[in-house]
Structure 1
Amino acid sequence: MPALTDFWQRYAPTNGGVATLLKKNATRAPQIGMIDAVVGSENKGGFQQDFNALTGGAGDSKKKIAMFKYHTRGVDADTLDETDAELNYCNPARTNEFLQTEQEVTRYVSRQFKIADNKVRNFDETARQHFEMELEMEAVKLVTDLNKRMIALYEAVRGNTSAGTTAALTAQAFSSGADYKANIAWQESIRREFRKIQSGGKLMMVGDGLAESYANVLGYGQVNDFGQRVDLQPFDNRFAFFGDATLDSVIDGTGTVTDNALVWEPGAFQMLHWYQNRGDFRTMRDDAINDTIAINVNGTRHVFDVFIRYSDCQDSTAGMHVTLKKWFDVWNYPTDIFKGTDALNGVNFLERWIATAA
């Protein structure tokens, strides 16, 4: 095999570290949706992590510790009216100021594997095809693992409902579970709940079991038991829906609690990124590569740190030792974004719902 520098210059990221895209998967696409929802454009909106606008960063920062500023929301009791004593313009009763918090990206998932020269020789004239296939296969497994971790992290940081608890909420998705007659109560119950916590507009939803079946059935269109037209269009206009066959098992591995849906206000739950191999730490040597690479999984572009070492000790063990690594963490609204006397104290617009059938 040629030196790694020659191999990487032909097959790897170009343009100063901007990762290229591998366009096919070596295995079946995983049945995941949580990670796709979190990193998708509808959820990210104007969320910008890269404070220094790093060249080629595409919003993914080189910073491992991020700092952000925010305000605590005011309450109605702060308003003065004619029943209050004369206003003191020189010494206002309240001082408004920014709060500042920092968050470090501390979590990672990684996969390591070897591409042996003697194996490649048996099937390919060049290493490129084998290299891409192995990367794609490992990336699918890594993203599947990352997806499950996103679900668990979401479940761990869910805030209060309008009732002031973190308990999962329940609504009927089907009037009849036997023949899947859709019930509009599922989507309307969720919409009403989010209106109670002063959240409007389109919502993010990741669902499994009956929650996913609801979206599937609505794709065909139905008239429910009350003669109401129930189809995907109005549902889709109000929810960005992502099916995830791993969600129920992550939330409850015993299978007792199923048919879950995670529902949140767009932007309230974000994924943070950090990369070791950007900037001055992107290096190419004949025996080692430190860089970033993007791989397409389920149509979503995921960027990883990639570490490659080449060993040619003897023919039977010669080959590339490859590590894919993804540093990540999550961000959600801080606990003091609402005052203790605010009706929304404890709310962070992250909820879990359970779909039921009659």
Structure 2
Amino acid sequence: MTRRRYIILLLLLVLVLAAWTFVPQPSQQTDEAFSTPSPLNTAAPRSYRLGFTPFPYEISMEAVNWVYDTLAEDSDVIMQHFDNGVPWPEALMGEPYSDNIMNDWEMRRSLTPPDHAIILSMTPIAFFRDGIALYRGDQDDMPLPAPWDSYAFEDPEVSTAYFNHLHRAIEYFQPDYLVMGIEVNMLLSKRPDLWAGYVEMQQLVYDKLKTLYPELPMMVSVLGMAYFPQYAPEYDDLPAQLAGLEQLLPYSDYFAISLYPYLSSLVDGIPPHFFHDLFALAGDKPIAISETGYPAQILQMQTVDYTFPGTPERQNAYITGLLAQADAYDFQFIVNFVLRDYDALYEAIGGGDLAAVWRDTGLYDENGQPRLVLESWRQTLARPYMP
């Protein structure tokens, strides 16, 4: 793994965070809403897997190895998360992918623990969730070449290329789960004019892949806070979001949620009804947390008036509460996106608000020391997995 690729990975994180725009409002809860962790079931089997992405905490091969070695012990599923463009022309024509792509794929596959399940996560939507994903070739997220810069989601070239890309990635990684779109409902909020074309493409690609892989769970993920405009007012069209979800769920095997409740007005806690209201949207679909996290340290932003009073105790309460919900609702998996705090990476790129958003959401701190929540996580992981 080269230094250049690590820098690219870091820039990907920053760009993804840039896609998160939120307007903090006055606190909605008292601190009592987050003072006591939910009781854990420490004996019964669990229906869900627990995992992380292999995102490194600094620019070094030592960091990569540490993350893979540690998640081998502290998880039973790994999410290989690709939110950095699609090789559109090569995928359409069945041509070889660039060394940039294949070296990355080979590194990830070779380091993945052999006894771990794999979640393959890809998306046809751009980082900012405002159009078609950019081009991945010799570099990540390059401008779309002609004629791809003029295509819409519903164009047959786009659906064919994306189907081919997912097919090739499935054959390569042999995943146990496929996320075929990341936080897709953000597109509905940012570019509602593109939504119908995206849904048409999603349905077509899902149907074709299901014919080839009928036993592989396939899903798109949605941003959970978009269904709570009272806490995330930038998502102010709840009827449109609910209608969009109705279009998605028939072509998504799970209700997969990207959940970061601290990126909202829920600064001092989570309302008792929050999880119930969110998971009720699943209908009869199994529930999965495709990515989540919660800061264990204070998050203070400079460009917006926002301070989140993160502590290890609050992180523990959130994750422990989510584990209790996983038992109650028979989740399929939970992915805490960051394994170890990335303060070293944060400093390497000069800091800034956007890079800080996930910095302190690891279950290990920046020095590699376990956080309070890791005990509950490990207790749950030690329970037998029985899907």
Pairwise TM-score range, normalised by the shorter structure: under 0.3
Which of structures 1 and 2 has the bigger CA Rg?
Answer: 1
TM-score (ref. length: structure 2): 0.22
Bigger share in helix: 2
Bigger share in strand: 1
TM-score (ref. length: structure 1): 0.24
